[in-house]
Structure 1
């Protein structure tokens, strides 16, 4: 059982780390410890409300009950393993890693230490995709046949206060690249399919003029054992952002414009347009965090933990 005043550790305090700090504080967790490798100034967090340390050896003194990993991708698996071996539950930002080095060690450590590992693919908590999941399972529109996703953004716009060329997303050695960095959509279609992946093809695009040493775009086609197919396009070279999702069923189709929060359903020869009012992405992070702690407190997390780790192996393999 994790109490609100138990120590919670966050690895990294960049933009996503600061978001997690705010979410924890909003959820009532007051004993927050931040491990920083570079103790730079915080942008949107009052340093007086958290505890910052730079010597990782102090972790055995602090004894955190849970950790959130928010460092560059290439450090995720190593830091997750470090925590799991100490019996610390982990919520790790996507993806789990940029390769499968030490993957088997992590899987065994999670089994031996009875710790919960959850990947931070927060789209699973979105009302729209929860509804799609329900439609797939109850077949109210017949069988799901295929899925298409499109996500285009512009890397230099992500963090205007820093040089995009130095960001982890832009550098192969830090685990960057469009496929891994934007792997939310791969996890989403895998989850919605409700079936194991049995084949895929990944085509990477290096033609962009961005000064990076990774692909700036990728087209990924996936086939599932139950016959569903999916196609994901991701890129961070598109200067006008665009993000949409399309799901085709036996008896109709559903499209969703992510940035406008508008979904269009065609079913029984009728078109229905709905809008999700006041959508706030932070709600997804909050729901994800609450689910993480609820799983730990309920105690029955072994199957979910191993499934999360194994699902990550598939995503990493698709993106390599």
Structure 2
């Protein structure tokens, strides 16, 4: 029977998220991991974990890769996905799917019948407190949801203290940077909880003195196909980390905060759930989930198609902000 120790893994990109995933694969029991990065400076970090490090991507071709993880800047995601498809591997792609909706749509036409699984790293779906929010909604404790408000804020220069934010992908348009693309977790979570949007209005701006060429702030308004309203606030300027949401229903309200947990106040119940697990747990859980999908031949719930939907919303948010008008999805 297939198990994780028998699987060959490839991690493409060994920056902060690539290193995190490599460590988590080891934690889950993976023993056969090869990491590719053209930057030789990353080699000691990988070899310290006891795994193979290569600077030539084609060296992975002989490894009989079962599952590959793409952990590069967004503008390289589809480039490496195209190559990994020729390996006949299952592929995990860090969010967002790409820096380009048009390129993602074009590639989909070629790979929609690809027999192996492709998933996107929307890890917040696996956070214990967000799972609780989904459960409370599904159980109808606040009745019909009407309004959702989602917020994420963190000062860009503090995201990765050991790296220069000015050299990271966020700072540049060509690499798929900016808060709308980087903040697509909120877009995914909001529409996962409340449904697909029919229209979008957004504004974006660079309001800080951060040395970047992309937007650091955005406000996105969505109207769903079932007439729910969603408000998303994203910024890379807030000194105190903030990540929270509120869902208002006919019978009550669910509030969520990454730092404190979940609270529900409704006609049926008033409860507080102090769910504040280690941040890394959701990254472990998303990998564990995908690996189980592969082992059990079960299609992942977060597919390439879902990644393409979110990519379209990212594109539409930019388009709305640039044209100053509502965009119908």
TM norm structure 2 = 0.89
Question: Which residue matches 1:238?
Answer: 238
Residue 211, structure 1, aligned to residue 211, structure 2: yes
Cα–Cα, structure 1 residues 303 and 274, in superposed 2: closer, same or farther, change >3 Å?
closer
Question: Which residue matches 2:248?
Answer: 248
- 2 CA distance for matches of 1:313 and 1:179? 10
How far has the Cα of 1:87 moved from its partner?
1.7
Q: Which structure 2 residue ranges, 5 or more long, are not aligned?
A: 319-329
Question: Which residue matches 1:66?
Answer: 67
Cα–Cα, structure 1 residues 309 and 153, in superposed 2: closer, same or farther, change >3 Å?
closer
Could you give the per-residue CA deviations for residues 212-248 of structure 1, whole angstroms, max 9, x where no partner exists? Answer: 1000011111111111111111111112222211111
RMSD: 2.1
- 1 CA distance for matches of 2:48 and 2:177? 29
Number of residue pairs the alignment of both structures matches: 317
Question: Which residue matches 1:227?
Answer: 227
Could you give the per-residue CA deviations for residues 2-61 of structure 1, whole angstroms, max 9, x where no partner exists? Answer: 642321000111111111011100100011110102121468655351111111122321
Residue 30, structure 1, aligned to residue 28, structure 2: no
How far has the Cα of 1:73 moved from its partner?
1.3
How far has the Cα of 1:141 moved from its partner?
2.0
Q: Answer whether contact 2:260 2:275 (CA < 8 A) is retained.
A: yes
Secondary structure of 1:233's counterpart equals strand
Question: Which residue matches 1:275?
Answer: 274
Question: Which residue matches 1:39?
Answer: 40
Secondary structure of 1:237's counterpart equals coil
- 2 CA distance for matches of 1:185 and 1:106? 25
- 2 CA distance for matches of 1:262 and 1:43? 38
- 1 CA distance for matches of 2:90 and 2:120? 12
Secondary structure of 1:4's counterpart equals helix
TM norm structure 1 = 0.92
Cα–Cα, structure 1 residues 154 and 289, in superposed 2: closer, same or farther, change >3 Å?
same
Secondary structure of 1:19's counterpart equals helix
Q: Answer whether contact 1:246 1:253 (CA < 8 A) is retained.
A: yes
